[in-house]
Amino acid sequence: MAGHGEWRGYTSDPVMATGLVCLPPKIALGTLLLGTTATPALAAPITLPYMDKINAFIGSLPALDPQNAASFALVMGLVAFSTTTSIVLLRERRRFARRTQKFRAEIANLQAADDRATLLMGSDRQLLISWVARDGEPHFEGDPSIAGDGATTKRALAFGHWLAPADAAAVERALDQLKKRGESFRVTARTLFNTFVEAEGRTFGASAILRLRDVTGDRTELLLARAELVSAKGDLRGMTLLIDSIAHPLWIRDETGRLVWANQAYLRAVEADSMEDAAHRSLELIGEQARGEAQRLRASGKPFHERVKAVVGGRRSVLDVVEYPTGGGSAGIAVDVSELDSVRTDLQRQMDANVRTLDQLPTAVAIFDGSQHLVFSNEAYQRLWNLDAAFLASRPTDGEVLDRLHSARKLPEQADFRAWKSEIHKSYQSVESREIWWHLPDRRSLRVVINPNPQGGVTYLFDDVSERIELESQVNALTSVQSETLNTLKEGVAVFGTDGRLKLHNRAFAELWHLPPDALADHPHIDKIIRACRLLAPQEEPWIDIRGAVAGLADARMGVSCRMDRQDGSSLDCAAQPLPDGATLLTFIDVTASVNVARALTERNDALERASRLRDEFVHHVSYELRSPLTNVIGFAQLLSEETVGPLNDRQRDYADHIMRSSGSLLAILNDILDLASIDTGSLELMPEIVDIRSTIDAAMRGLEDRLAEASIEVRIDAPADIGSFVADGKRIRQILFNLLSNAVGFSAPGQTIHVRARKGGGEVVLEVRDQGRGIPPEIKAKVFERFESHTLGTRHRGVGLGLAIVRSFVELHGGRVELISAPGEGTTVMCTFPMERREAPQDGRSGQNAVPPLAAE
């Protein structure tokens, strides 16, 4: 109530009195976007227009007694209160109606603002993040896919997961300053998806708002172009620095051929201080003719590539110049190849030497390049696979070579050849060497090494180890056989290493010296072995020699052999022999029985030698004692047969001839015995002379003419007319032929033929006598050359068995040999072979002319 009964009321709504801070985020965003502010409702006065009239009516009433007045006053007060209350109620209802209408209008405006804000937010791909309290929880409005397809709202604040690292760090720093200090910002950031996002941050009261908006359209292209420009400038700057650091001259020319840029190497080559200095003085690296050719090719759009001579830094050099046309001119580079020719020559010489070396290797080598083409193969490779040289010269691929070898069945048999070949070709992508084994169908074994080359491709090494594997197998088999053999030997065998310790022994060694197995199991030293063995053989000297052979210096070790007499009465032969690997082999042989037998044999041999000397002396003495009276008998028989003392009748003449023949035969036997005795004593000497072969054969036959005629046996001589002569003892040659012919006549039947054949050749003379008799059985043929071996073989021939013994002895004295070929029913052939020349000088005269056999002479 205020003045004159006027009542005025003021009311205020806290919602209306609240500023933008308490508005919803969308309304705040609409306000932020539209630049408008909602005005709150103000307090309005409330006026009662009938108060004055009521007061005037009350004043016009007559005065009343106090009681009535009080009652009246009470009634009137109640009426006034009711009326006032009604009026106030009506006015409040009108006021609230107006306020409700106003609130509805304001709500409609806010709803419109919210719709406009929603429409505005939906028009762009963006996300609004607000913090009512700067350290409180964030509220999100908008499209969270701006942080990536399928992204959540929480992921939007993880800038490092969807923004470029540098931009993510910048946005995080700006957002931190916005929360702490209220500093607004606007940043354009690049995402990991190569798009751009605009991040804008502002404060409103105690709240902080961050808007993330996808930048699209022309602005995106502008940003992309700007980023590419920055990147291009950086790349250009880096490329310029890189090109300046290159040691080869590089340059750029415009359309007219004028030099517009060059690197530092070019400036040093033309001895210019700067690009301006080179352009001012017109310094060029290549000559005018080369530049003209490059200009001509550039006009036609073709590159210029040529090797030219130029002066680089005051030194004459050879350059490989390449110049390519560009949109606004050309760009070129020059490479100094002055040393390339010498290096290439040295490299070619080295390669030729390597090729010659590889061709001498027994290991097959094949080199394939990165494209799997054959670039080199040595002769061993061609021999190993028997490949055509023309095929290898055509640079076949690795697969073609394997296919050809597979079709020729020269590769290992495979169930899946393609998979096997693919496995082999994996070496082209490997960096490690491989070693595999191939067992070929022809039973060869190859060790294959596949080595990747640093420049690409592989090198195959094929080592034929068939022989080595076979040798290893043989060595293993031999080792096993030798071990078993050593264990079966009765001789004790022990092998000591270079350290003097026992490495190998057989059972006989342990049994011979009574050594227990546990004493030999730890490979004892030779000293320990000697101490154990000296219990049975205490002699000191043999063991000193054995120890020196086993444990002595390597260059002083020598073979040792000795005999030990043990205390048990046995005898051992010991031998120590150094082995090639530095070890020493000891052998112990029990020779007790041999020693006893040798002793008995020595005694028997002495007795036999004494008996032989007695026999020889007896034969020699008897022969001489019989020869003198026999000579007298022969002389007197000749006198009788010649009838010098008177005539003889036929019977007496037959008796005299019989005495002559018998005496002659006995004299021949005595002479043979004397010759054999002379040979045994070594007193018989040959008298070398020039012997005519045909004459000697004829002289030997003349001594048998009577026997040949009596037995009706023909002798055919097969000797070339120009067979000539040779150096020998003529008398002994005639004696040899006489004995052979005499045997042939004795074993031949009447009417048969004896063939005498003589040949020269190869520095030898061969005299051959062949008969057609019964032949000699094998069991007799082995004894026919022994003394006093006589066999009639069913004939009437009788003899003492000295003829062939004399033949063999005389032939061997001449340095020749005798061969006998015979079989029952096929006759007998005896061949005597003499050397044509002898060292002794022949005597004067020729043998064979008018000579008679020894029997005829005597």
The burial of 727, by beta-carbon neighbours within 10 Å (0-12 exposed, 13-18 middle, 19 or more buried), is given as buried
Angle, alpha carbons 125-126-129 (nearest 5°): 165
Give DSSP secondary structure letters for 629-661: HHHHHHHHHHHHHTTSSS---HHHHHHHHHHHH
The whole-number pLDDT of residue 615 equals 66
The whole-number pLDDT of residue 564 equals 87
The whole-number pLDDT of residue 33 equals 40
The whole-number pLDDT of residue 448 equals 92
pLDDT band of 620, cuts 50, 70, 90 = low
The whole-number pLDDT of residue 840 equals 47
Q: Given a cut of 70, is residue 54 above it in pLDDT?
A: no
Structure confidence by residue, pLDDT tens digits, 453-482: 888 899 999 988 888 888 888 888 887 887
For range 599-608, the mean pLDDT: 84
Report the largest interatomic distance among the alpha carbons of the chain, rounded to a whole angstrom: 255
The residue behind tokens 């008398």 is 731
The whole-number pLDDT of residue 124 equals 67
The whole-number pLDDT of residue 548 equals 86
Structure confidence by residue, pLDDT tens digits, 570-594: 888 898 888 888 888 889 988 888 8
Structure confidence by residue, pLDDT tens digits, 702-736: 878 877 888 888 899 999 988 899 999 888 888 88
Q: Kindly report the length of the chain.
A: 858
Measured distance CA(195)–CA(229) in Å, rounded: 16
According to DSSP, the β-strands at 571-578 and 817-822 are unpaired
The whole-number pLDDT of residue 842 equals 43
Q: Given a cut of 60, is residue 855 above it in pLDDT?
A: no
pLDDT band of 858, cuts 50, 70, 90 = very low
pTM over 0.85: no
25 and 141 Cβ atoms separated by less than 8 Å: yes
Q: Given a cut of 70, is residue 195 above it in pLDDT?
A: yes
- Could you give the strand order of the β-sheet that contains 688-692, starting from the edge strand earlier in sequence? 725-729, 688-692, 843-847
Measured distance CA(790)–CA(802) in Å, rounded: 8
Q: Given a cut of 50, is residue 819 above it in pLDDT?
A: yes
Report the half-sphere exposure of 230 (CA within 13 A, side-chain side). 5
The whole-number pLDDT of residue 119 equals 62
According to DSSP, the β-strands at 584-590 and 714-718 are unpaired
3-state DSSP helix/strand/coil % of the chain, to nearest 5: 50, 20, 30
pLDDT band of 32, cuts 50, 70, 90 = very low
Highest mean pLDDT range out of 349-358, 415-424, 515-524?
Answer: 415-424
For range 11-25, the mean pLDDT: 38
Task: Give the bridge partners for 588, in sequence order.
Answer: 492, 574
Give DSSP secondary structure letters for 265-321: HHHHHTT-SSHHHHHHHT--SS-HHHHHHHHHHHHTT--EEEEEEEEETTEEEEEEE
29 and 128 Cβ atoms separated by less than 8 Å: yes
pLDDT band of 744, cuts 50, 70, 90 = confident
> What number of other Cβ atoms are within 10 A of residue 363's Cβ?
15
The whole-number pLDDT of residue 831 equals 92
46 and 91 Cβ atoms separated by less than 8 Å: yes
pLDDT band of 415, cuts 50, 70, 90 = confident
The whole-number pLDDT of residue 1 equals 37
Task: Give the bridge partners for 504, in sequence order.
Answer: 495
Task: Give the bridge partners for 799, in sequence order.
Answer: none
Q: Given a cut of 80, is residue 6 above it in pLDDT?
A: no
Please give the structure tokens belonging to residue 510. 């342990």
The whole-number pLDDT of residue 58 equals 57
For range 332-359, the mean pLDDT: 79
The whole-number pLDDT of residue 62 equals 57
Structure confidence by residue, pLDDT tens digits, 637-690: 778 777 777 788 888 878 877 787 777 767 777 777 777 777 776 667 888 999
Q: Please state which of the ranges 140-149, 159-168, 739-748, 806-815 shows the lowest mean pLDDT.
A: 140-149
The whole-number pLDDT of residue 622 equals 66
| Closest C-alpha to 269, from 324, 326, 308 | 308
The whole-number pLDDT of residue 8 equals 36
The whole-number pLDDT of residue 15 equals 35
The whole-number pLDDT of residue 135 equals 66
Measured distance CA(659)–CA(633) in Å, rounded: 8
